[in-house]
Amino acid sequence: MIKKSSFKPAWWLKSPHLQTMAAKVLRRKESIEVITETVELPDGDFVDLAWTEDPTLHPEKPIVYVLHGLEGSIDSHYAKGMMGSIKKRGWVGLLMHFRGCSGRPNRQGPSYHSGDTWDVHYCTELLMQRFPQREFAILGFSLGGNVLAKFLSENTQTPYKSAAIICAPLHLKSCSYRISKGFSKVYQKYLVDMLRDSTKIKIDLNLLPNIDKSELDKITTLFDFDEKVTAPINGFDSAEDYYDKASGLNVLKDIEHPTLIIHALDDPFLCHDYVKEITVDNHNLHVELSEYGGHVGFIAGNNPLKPIYWLEHRVLDFIAERFGK
C-alpha cells in the first residue's frame, strides 16, 4: 500500500540538499553514551555492537535493532538521533556496525555490501538465544535499509514484530547512476573518498592482494568502485551483477513482517523512477512517499532553534503500534 507521507518540511529547509546536510550540522555536537560489545563470528571475523544500555538490566524492555548506511557508524547523526529516541521511548537500542565501520578494519578481505545479510542473520539468532522472551523490532537507513529488505525476504521466522526501511537504494543500478549526476556528485565524492580510505587500510594489512592503490586512486564514481572493488572481493561478476542480485526491490514481495518504507521524492542520493514499481501485492508493506525530505533528512518545525526530527517520531510510532504500546 502506497500513501502520501504526513511529513511537512521546515519552512527554512525545503531544499533537498539543505534537508540532507542540515541534520549533520545541527547535530554535530550531540553525543550518546553506549555500551560496546564485540561479537566473534564463525568465519573468524567480528562485528562491533553499540547498546544504549545493558540489555540484561531491564528484561521487560523491547529491543530495537538499527542498521546504519554506507560507511556509517554510531557517530552518524541519524544513528545517534534514532538511538537516543529509542532510549527515550523506554526501549533498548542496538546498532550493529557493518564490518570495518566501527573504527577498526575487519580481519578478512570481503566487505559488507548492500546485499550482505549474513551478519544480520547471525546477530538475530544471537538475540533470540539471549533474550527469548523479549519483543524486537528492526530498522535500516539507506544501504542498511536495502540490507534489511533482503534479510526480511530471506527469513520469515524472525522475532521482529515490525521493521522500517528508510531512504534505501532499493534499485541499486539506477541509484548508482543518479548519484553521479549534478550536485549529487558532491555526495558521491564524499562516499567514494571514505570507501577508498577504508580499502587502503585493508590493502596495507595484506587483506586485498589483488587491489592496487594506484588503481584505487583513479576511482571517482560509486559504479567504478563497485565494479573494481565491491564486486570482485565479494564474489560478484561485475557491478551490474552485484546490483541485480543485491537490490531489495526484487524481493519486497517476499517480506512477511509489517514493514514501513519511507522515501523522499527529492532524495539526491536515489533515483525515483523505481518507486512506481513498488506495487507488489503485499499487505505487509506500508510505503510512504514524501515530496520533500532529502536523504535521511526529514527535518520539520517552525523554529530553527528547535528542529523536529520527524523520522524518529514516525518510525518509532509505527514500531510502537506493533509493540502494542
Give me the active site residues, please.
142, 267, 295
**153 half-sphere exposure, CB direction, 13 A CA radius:** 21
Query: In angstroms, how far is CA 113 from the centroid of its own chain?
Result: 11
Q: Nearest-CA neighbor of 22 among 316, 314, 308, 269?
A: 308
141 sits in which H/E element: strand 136-141
Task: Give buried/exposed letters for 291-314 (b at 16+ CB in 10 A, else e).
Answer: ebbbbbbbbbbeeeeebebbbbeb
Q: Nearest-CA neighbor of 76 among 88, 87, 67?
A: 67
The answer for residues whose C-beta is within 8 angstroms of residue 49's C-beta and 6 or more apart is 36, 37, 38, 39, 94, 95, 96, 97, 123
Sheet holding 92-96, edge to edge: 2-4, 285-290, 259-264, 160-166, 136-141, 63-67, 92-96, 46-51, 35-40
What distance in Å separates the CA atoms of residue 79 and residue 95, rounded to the nearest whole number? Answer: 8
163 sits in which H/E element: strand 160-166
